[in-house]
């Protein structure tokens, strides 16, 4: 290897592959000619070493525990910014001026409703349907109400698609919750900001005035900011992969919602609370569950621990842990599940198994605790994650289309049957 290329010696020959530079963090080996030149492909299950694209949106360093949105450290963003500004930053690359901020916010407000016909679709789901399944279907259905494919060469059309999606998606998130509760469907209130508006749409009861609790709104805003983007994670890669076939924005986002639902990804926040409740019901013996998580014969894992990229600590978890302490203090909440979470954190962080494997509490370990303290039902946690991740998905979709990335189409190493002749059913 020299500074700017890697030499592969294979079958008695040398092949050179250029190194692609980064501003910070991992550099990449450009192996686009590898198969043509050598007949070999790379095999990297779970894409642990594979860069799928070149991106300018989010940077994270798993060893240092750093996360930057467009270069700005998450700690500064979480302390000083707000979710609407973060959406703008991710989508447009720079922090907005006062005029840009108002124009962005006003544009979103212009689309602060969803076609009434969509309510009929919601009606066909049983109340017991998981909100993430409903959300994915409704997001897909939005395509029918906004059928025009986005012309990605037009900045106006791209901005419009993003603003439409941001406005409508908050309704769908709120509606999925109201469906599970049998509550009437609400439309938006343009006197409120984005987070307040979502909060009111989701939680307003039909028989009383709704009071916006600033503690809740502040907590929600912070949680949405912390989830807003996380470079090439599973759901974002799904959005990019689907979009790489030039599938529309709404359908690509719907696929992202489904990917996020999984308990190893966004579904972990729900799984954490369910796990804490299970431990509590079982007598609260934390060490029993730590032992189960370590037992290779047992499929149980400590939900909310570990991360594919963060092998030191998850910077979002640090911020959110403090927020969880503040919110529980402000709301005066005593929560048994929280006590168990704190015991679990202590035991696991001192245990060799977790220390050696660098398994630390991740963002979802604490986000569920905050949502629970705010009175948000467990099944809605992943929907809240989706609402937060939306600007990241849109920004990554937009970047992929603007850069003209080719359709995503991985290869495989085939280990199935060799060529053989078909046998008639009577002779088998």
Q: Is 306 in the site for ligand CMC (CB under 6 A)?
A: yes
Give which of 286, 248, 84 is closest to 167, Cα–Cα.
Answer: 84
Q: Please, which residues have CB within 8 angstroms of residue 126's CB and are 6 or more apart in sequence?
A: none
Sort 339 into a burial class: Cβ within 10 Å, 0-12 / 13-18 / 19+. Answer: middle
CB 311 within 8 A of CB 63: yes
Shortest distance in whole angstroms from residue 349 CB to ligand CMC: 13
Angle, in degrees to the nearest 10, between helices 83-92 and 381-403:
20
Q: Which of residues 85-124 bind ligand CMC (CB under 6 A)?
A: none
Kindly indicate which of the ranges 31-39, 159-167, 299-307, 396-404 contains the residues binding ligand CMC, using the contact rule CB under 6 A: 299-307
Binding flags for ligand CMC, 153-192, as an x/- string (CB under 6 A): ----------------------------------------
Shortest distance in whole angstroms from residue 254 CB to ligand CMC: 18
CB 227 within 8 A of CB 363: yes
The upper half-sphere exposure of residue 132, i.e. CA atoms within 13 Å in the direction of its Cβ, equals 25
Q: Is 292 in the site for ligand CMC (CB under 6 A)?
A: no
Q: Is 305 in the site for ligand CMC (CB under 6 A)?
A: yes
Separation CA 191–CA 197 (nearest Å): 8
Q: Is 382 in the site for ligand CMC (CB under 6 A)?
A: no
Binding flags for ligand CMC, 308-337, as an x/- string (CB under 6 A): x-----------------------------
Kindly indicate which of the ranges 90-98, 244-252, 306-314, 373-381 contains the residues binding ligand CMC, using the contact rule CB under 6 A: 306-314
Single out the residue of 144, 245, 264, 402 in contact with ligand CMC (rule: CB under 6 A): 264
DSSP of 384-426, one letter per residue? HHHHHHHHHHHHHHHHHHHHTPPPP-------S--S-----GG
DSSP of 335-347, one letter per residue? -HHHHHHHHHHHH
Q: Is 268 in the site for ligand CMC (CB under 6 A)?
A: yes
In the set 213, 307, 314, 325, the catalytic residue is 307
CB 362 within 8 A of CB 317: yes
- Cβ proximity to ligand CMC, 170 vs 236, nearer residue: 236
DSSP of 240-285, one letter per residue? HHHHTTT--HHHHHHHHHHHHHSTTTTTHHHHHHHHHHHHHHTT--
Q: Which of residues 335-364 bind ligand CMC (CB under 6 A)?
A: 357, 359, 362-364
Shortest distance in whole angstroms from residue 359 CB to ligand CMC: 5
Shortest distance in whole angstroms from residue 70 CB to ligand CMC: 19
Distances (CA, A) of 243 to 117, 160, 372: 26, 17, 34
Give which of 88, 9, 20, 49 is closest to 392, Cα–Cα.
Answer: 88
Q: Is 376 in the site for ligand CMC (CB under 6 A)?
A: no
Kindly indicate which of the ranges 50-58, 150-158, 296-304, 336-344 contains the residues binding ligand CMC, using the contact rule CB under 6 A: 296-304
CB 165 within 8 A of CB 107: no
Q: Is 339 a catalytic residue?
A: no
Count of residues engaged in binding ligand CMC, rule: CB under 6 A: 21
Q: Is 26 a catalytic residue?
A: no
What residue ranges bind ligand CMC (CB under 6 A)?
A: 46, 230, 233, 264-266, 268, 293, 301-308, 357, 359, 362-364
The residues annotated with a catalytic role in the active site are: 307, 364
């Amino acid at each position: 290897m020299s500074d700017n290329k890697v030499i592969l010696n294979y079958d008695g020959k040398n092949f050179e592959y250029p190194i692609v530079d980064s501003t910070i963090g991992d550099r990449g080996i450009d192996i686009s000619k590898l198969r043509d030149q050598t007949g070999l492909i790379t095999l990297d299950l779970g894409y642990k070493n594979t860069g799928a694209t070149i991106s300018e949106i989010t940077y994270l360093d798993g060893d240092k525990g750093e996360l930057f949105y467009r270069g700005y450290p998450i700690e500064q963003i979480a302390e000083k910014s707000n979710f609407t500004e973060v959406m703008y930053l991710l989508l447009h690359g720079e922090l907005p001026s006062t005029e840009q901020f108002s124009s962005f916010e006003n544009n979103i407000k212009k689309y602060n409703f969803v076609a009434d016909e969509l309510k009929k679709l919601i009606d066909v789901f049983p109340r017991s349907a998981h909100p993430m399944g409903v959300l994915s279907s409704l997001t897909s259905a939005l395509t029918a109400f906004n059928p025009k494919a986005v012309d990605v060469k037009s900045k106006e059309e791209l901005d419009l698609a993003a603003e439409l999606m941001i406005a409508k998606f908050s309704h769908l998130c709120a509606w999925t919750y109201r469906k599970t509760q049998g509550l009437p469907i609400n439309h938006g209130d343009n006197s409120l900001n984005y987070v307040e508006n979502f909060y009111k749409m989701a939680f307003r009861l039909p028989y009383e005035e709704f009071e916006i609790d600033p503690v809740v709104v502040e907590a929600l805003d912070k949680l949405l900011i912390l989830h807003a983007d996380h470079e090439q994670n599973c759901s974002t890669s799904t959005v990019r992969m689907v979009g790489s076939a030039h599938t529309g924005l709404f359908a690509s986002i719907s696929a992202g919602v489904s990917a996020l639902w999984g308990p190893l990804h966004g579904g972990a926040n729900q799984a954490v609370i369910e796990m804490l409740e299970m431990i509590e019901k079982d007598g609260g013996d934390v060490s029993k569950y730590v032992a189960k998580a370590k037992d290779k014969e047992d499929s149980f894992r400590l939900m909310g621990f570990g991360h594919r990229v963060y092998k030191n600590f998850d910077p979002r978890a640090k911020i959110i842990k403090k927020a969880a302490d503040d919110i529980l203090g402000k709301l005066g909440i005593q929560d048994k599940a929280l006590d168990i979470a704190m015991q679990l954190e202590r035991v696991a962080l001192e245990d060799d198994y977790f220390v050696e494997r660098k398994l630390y509490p991740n963002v979802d370990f604490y986000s569920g605790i905050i949502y629970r303290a705010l009175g948000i039902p467990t099944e809605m946690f992943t929907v809240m994650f989706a609402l937060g991740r939306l600007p990241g998905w849109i920004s990554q979709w937009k970047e992929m289309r603007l850069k003209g990335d080719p359709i995503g189409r991985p290869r495989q190493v085939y280990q199935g049957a060799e060529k053989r002749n078909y046998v008639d059913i009577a002779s088998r």
